[in-house]
Amino acid sequence: MTRALLPLLSTLMALTGCVGASGRAGLTSGAPTFDVARAFVGASVGEGRLKIAFRRTRPVHVESSGHRAEDGTIVVDQVITEPGRKTSTRQWRLREVAPGRYAGSLSDATGPVEGVVRDNCLELRFRMKGDLTARQWLFAMPDGRTVQNRMSILKSGILVARMHETITRRD
């Protein structure tokens, strides 16, 4: 029985090793408290690096434009550019449902988005196509203009991709 599990264990270790750690160390602080409207209402640009298991790390560029809808929902429209790939768009919708708790949607998610604010971090969770689970940690930086994004994508509990992105307000 143990011999039969060795190839599976080796594969799982290789997958995890290919995408590495989440890179969240040192980003958590008590101040400033993450303000969803401040982070997403207005124009911003994101420059990131996406690493998918067994593939080369590739740059990702995200242009965002956000506004607050009449019902208080934060709506963010994004244009995503990756070299060698077709430009894509997506829309986030987040609404505070209790102090520090958010619910919403993402146009390329397969279910609801759930979020919670802890200190300077907004943690988001959602499911994606292909039975993938995404966890995203957005950290408000002390300058008030920058957010560090760390995203992990899991398949059956195994880390298969990660994204590190710096988001900067334009206005």
Is 0.85 surpassed by the pTM of this model? no
Tell me if 57 sits within 8 A of 49, measured CB to CB: yes
161 lies in which domain range? Answer: 2-169
Closest CA to 59 of 167, 169, 163: 163
Domain count, the chain: 1
Domain with residue 113: its CATH number is 2.40.128.20
Would you state the pLDDT for residue 13? 38
Q: What is the pLDDT along the chain (171 residues), one digit of tens a residue?
A: 444 433 433 333 333 333 344 555 556 666 678 999 999 999 999 999 999 999 999 999 999 999 999 999 999 999 999 999 999 999 999 999 999 999 999 999 999 999 999 999 999 999 999 999 999 999 999 999 999 999 999 999 999 999 999 999 997
106 vs 94: CA distance, rounded Å: 9
Would you state the pLDDT for residue 171? 79
